Amino acid sequence: MLRALADLFGTLSRSGHLVLDDPALAAEHFAFLVMGADVDRGMFVPAILDRAAVEARAAAGAAVFLRAYTPA
* pLDDT tens by residue, 15-50: 999 999 999 999 999 999 999 888 877 777 777 778
Residue 51 confidence (pLDDT): 86
Residue 60 confidence (pLDDT): 97
Residue 40 confidence (pLDDT): 79
The mean per-residue pLDDT over the stretch 63-70 comes to 98
CA-to-CA distance for 12 and 5, rounded, in angstroms?
10
Chain-centre distance of CA 47, in angstroms?
23
Instruction: Name the region of 16 (left: φ>0; alpha: ψ -120 to 50; beta: rest).
Output: left
